[in-house]
Amino acid sequence: MNLRAGGVMVVAAVHLVMLQAQLNTGSSGKDGVLHPEVSTVIDLSDHPDGVFHYRSVHVPPGVTVRFRPNAANTPVVWLVQDDCRIEGTVDLGGEPSSGRTPGNGGPGGYRGGLAPPEEVDPITGHWRPPGPGMGPGGGQVAVAETPAMTRLWGGAGSYGKAGERASYNGQFVQHPAGEVYGNPFLLPLLGGSGGSGGISPPVWDKPLAGGGGGGAILIACSGLLEVNGSIQAVGGAAGGWGGAGSGGAIRLVASTITGTGLLNAVGGSSGYADENRHMLMAGRGRIRLDALDLRFYGTCAGEATSGFQPILFLPASGVASLGIRSVAGVLLDDPPLGHPLAPDVIVPARAAGSIPVVVACQNLPLNTVITVVAQGAAGSSVEASALNNAGTLESSTAVVEVDLPPGNGILFAKAVVTAGGGLASMGAEGGRTVHGEAITQVEIRAEPGRGLTRIGIAENGRRYPLTVP
């Protein structure tokens, strides 16, 4: 947040150390060697977190590995001590819908929407609406303003790219597609979303369900990761004219990734072609390749990116947030812009004394130390702290009394919280990096013009950026 109390201020940069050491996935090897000689289905029910600790993995040519989801429908995570070679097929595809039966998502993916009831609302005279697709990008259902609007084909699921929507003679004949979600780094790892239900022409009284979204998988190995076969996270097709499910997510992490195979996270087919005979598809999923040495020359069918992001798992405390809400009793816009030529608030000059800065917190434990930093143009910097001792865990506030340096300046708030929850089986209470470090703390910063950023602090003190687009 930018404020004026008298000089010019700069925002200090945070130095983040990014190591390029030998990768250590944290695999204990307890699940042994995965080397199926025939096609097989891996039951995730005995791995409630979806995490497998392999010594090595080899899927031979002609062999397909599929999955039976666990009760929590988690994504699949393979942590591998040595090499991982995929010459056959790893399949996490979403199920197609079948008539009134929606398709289930692949592991970590979301179910398709329900078919509409086979009845007309006696009050409105409209067909009752179908169910939306499940998931953050599930196919939507248009608000029915006329009877015709309830006779639309199902909306497509979306993920890394929005699903397509059919029109005819300038009028939409399909419910809206879902919203794009997630980020290129697949942190956190999310599956694809389902399509919504719909009604099929020319028999308008034939309700249909939506297809399921593709599943999600993370494969991280300390050795070579080679894909000459395929990894499939395809969205489920729509039976008839229900909405199809979006593609899922594939993330590969290794020192070296190589191969000439296929990484496939396309959306399912909606079963309808437009006026140019283009088959309309649900949204494409996401693919991420994290490697120090990337030599993969195969095909990535999805919204794909590459680089080296060393965070394997985000800590649970990543949901916590904070932000400056008022300064000297003046409420701020959300978010404040911090522009030096257009201050978010002007504080009247005063000879001495401090001004109250109210920091709003969400999902931060009560009595956490909240620090407000005021930075000045001449290099001066003032810090003050207080506890968020008013409110609840879900919503609390801290009032920090700050002596502002003179001149124009920038305020930002920060807090350090303990990472925890959800990853005990990986030997860490919080997140983990590919260097084998447990992230034990998270620094949360509300910075002007940047919004909320998070920095993971490993047990050895090294700092890693957790915030991703």
Q: Are residues 293 and 323 in the same domain?
A: no
For the stretch 157-189, pLDDT in tens is 999 999 988 777 777 778 899 999 998 999 889
Question: Which of 325, 447, 467 lies closest to 11 in space, CA to CA?
Answer: 447
Average of per-residue pLDDT values in the chain: 81
pLDDT of residue 8: 25
- Residues 284-318 as b/e (b if ≥16 CB within 10 A, e otherwise) read bbbbbbbbeebebebebbbbbbbeebbbbbbbbbb
Residue 438 in any domain: the answer is no
Residue 428 in any domain: the answer is no
Domain count, the chain: 2
pLDDT of residue 426: 34
CA distance 250 to 76: 10
Q: Which of the listed residues 246, 277, 309 is the one where a domain comes to its end?
A: 309
The three-state secondary structure class of 126 is coil
Mean pLDDT for 38-44 is 96
Whether 246 contacts 163, CB under 8 Å: yes
Question: Which of 468, 426, 307 lies closest to 25 in space, CA to CA?
Answer: 426
Whether 198 contacts 58, CB under 8 Å: no
Q: Place 74 in a pLDDT band, splitting at 50, 70 and 90.
A: very high
Q: Are residues 332 and 291 in the same domain?
A: no
Q: Tally helices (H) and strands (E) across the chain.
A: 0, 36
Q: Which of the listed residues 251, 274, 309 is the one where a domain comes to its end?
A: 309
Question: Which of 161, 388, 101 lies closest to 285 in space, CA to CA?
Answer: 161
Taking the CB of residue 449, how many other CB atoms lie within 10 A of it? 14
Residue 436 in any domain: the answer is no
Q: Are residues 279 and 386 in the same domain?
A: no
pLDDT of residue 19: 38
Whether 135 contacts 110, CB under 8 Å: yes
Give bridge partners of residue 305 from the DSSP assignment.
288
pLDDT of residue 15: 32
Q: Which two tokens stand for residue 128?
A: 């009752």
For the stretch 207-261, pLDDT in tens is 788 999 999 999 999 999 999 999 999 999 986 678 899 999 999 999 999 999 9
Residue 410 in any domain: the answer is yes
Whether 126 contacts 163, CB under 8 Å: no
Q: Are residues 459 and 384 in the same domain?
A: yes
Q: Are residues 277 and 326 in the same domain?
A: no
Residue 401 in any domain: the answer is yes
Q: Are residues 229 and 253 in the same domain?
A: yes
Q: Are residues 138 and 8 in the same domain?
A: no
Q: Which of the listed residues 290, 309, 328 is the one where a domain comes to its end?
A: 309
CA distances from 171 to 29, 154, 167 (A): 56, 15, 5
Q: Are residues 11 and 32 in the same domain?
A: no
Task: Identify the domain containing residue 349 by its residue range.
Answer: 2-18+316-422+447-465
Query: At residue 104, does pLDDT exceed 90?
Result: yes
DSSP letter string, 44-105: GGG-TT-EEEESEEEE-TT-EEEEE--TT-PPEEEEESS-EEESSEEE-PPPPPBTTBPPPP
pTM value is 0.77
Q: Are residues 192 and 260 in the same domain?
A: yes
Residue 201 in any domain: the answer is yes
Q: Place 11 in a pLDDT band, splitting at 50, 70 and 90.
A: very low
pLDDT of residue 268: 92
Q: Are residues 373 and 353 in the same domain?
A: yes
Q: Are residues 349 and 275 in the same domain?
A: no
The three-state secondary structure class of 372 is strand
The three-state secondary structure class of 150 is helix
Whether 211 contacts 103, CB under 8 Å: yes
Q: Are residues 370 and 417 in the same domain?
A: yes
